[in-house]
Copies of this chain bind each other. A is one copy, B any other.
Amino acid sequence: VSKPRSTLSDIAGTLGVSVAAVSNALSGKGRISDDLALRIRAVARDLGYVPSVAGRALRTGRSGVLGLVLADLAHPLFPQIARAIEQAASERGYGVLIGNAGGDVRAQAGAIARLIERGADGVIVVPMHGTRVGRLGHPVAVIDSPSTPGNTVASDHFDAGRHIGRHMGQLGHRRLALIGAHADSVVQNDRIAGIRAGLGAGARTQVIWIAEVEQGRGPGAALGLADLAAAGVTGFMGLSDLNALRALSELQRAGLRVPQDASVTGFDDLLWSRDLSPALTTMRMDAAAIAAIAVDRLVQQIDQIDQTADAGALPPPGMPPAMPHGVAVPMRLIVRHSSGPAPDPAPPPALRPDLSQSDRTEGTQIHA
């Protein structure tokens, strides 16, 4: 059985002071003598005082809770993202309420609305497949979708592609297959463009979309990777670890040795990537940085609402309205055993363009 929580007036009562004094002492806002503040805080500690979120929320109009909406809770990156968001939010004093759009793009708006109705001060959305998140009249931050102009945070997928592409190029691979899920994935197409830039001019790539193969030959159909290997392809680059897993599995099943006969790489560093044999070379997102940026922007929007409300809904004169732009956060290359030298390394081309400087950077670059 739980003992009832103590309140401000409990503290005020034991000290014979007003609740206003207690509130001020605990929040450090109103003017109060150091002596009294100290005594109040001591009593609060003794009584195990915990502020009532309900009372505070009713009075301030803010719940101290952020919503987290995912198009599908079964998304493989969800654990990484949820953990980072929870961490970033709790560091800023916010709780995280989860919502699920059940994989349905149309249900996404409903999920956001439900969280707002539940009292969330703002919502972080991780949409799938570049769904747009329209203006909602509420603070929103979007993760990993380049579709919304403002308040978007994403991994820099082009840059990530370039890094792992360069890695494969340096290992000597000149003929490569890029294996992705859907041709309409913005993320995967960004990665493809980056990979090609990283490989440089001497390499030939071809793209295999699993959805298209399966549409023709049924779910679980072979992607024909062994044939490609026989025809001289030495690098198999999954556009996510899921796709890399499928490639690795199919190649090994066909009797090819990885990395001696062919190299395999992925993206995202999913939980099991290191458990594969050989362990998978991949790119890891900086979930902590992305979450911190998303939460900061959300909190900033929330605080701004209060200010504009105070200022009579008018923006300060002469000051342009906050127009945040998208942020791209670099991913990190994780080299593991699945990528080795190319079986038949071709000589490096005489002239290789230096791509170490960014040649396609939209928005701010964050460097770890």
Residues of B within 8 A of A337 (CB): 220
Given contacts A57-B57, A63-B53, A73-B82, contact A1 B246 (CB under 8 A): no
Assess the A79–B80 pair: CB atoms within 8 A: no
Chain B residues positioned under 8 Å from A270 (CB to CB): 272
Minimum CB–CB distance from A303 to chain B (whole Å) comes to 15
Integer count of this chain's copies in the complex: 2
Contacts of A218-266 to chain B: CB distance below 8 A: 220, 222, 242, 245-246, 248-250, 252-253, 255, 257-258
* Known pairs A75-B79, A82-B73, A137-B1; A253 contacts B272 (CB<8 A): no
Of A26-34, A97-105, A142-150, A323-331, the stretch lying at the interface with chain B is: A97-105
Chain A window 58-100, contacts with chain B (Cβ cutoff 8 Å), 1 for yes, 0 for no: 1001011100100001111011101100110010000111111
Q: How far is the CA of A168 from the CA of B297 in the complex (A)?
A: 54
Given A86-B98, A86-B99, A275-B245: A55 and B58 interface contact (C-beta under 8 Å):
yes
Please give, as numbers and ranges, the residues of chain B lying within 8 Å of A83 by CB-CB distance: 73-74, 100
Residue positions of A touching B, CB distance < 8 A: 1-3, 50, 52-55, 57-58, 61, 63-65, 68, 73-76, 78-80, 82-83, 86-87, 90, 95-100, 114-115, 117-119, 137-138, 220, 222, 242, 245-246, 248-250, 252-253, 255, 257-258, 270-272, 274-279, 308, 313, 337
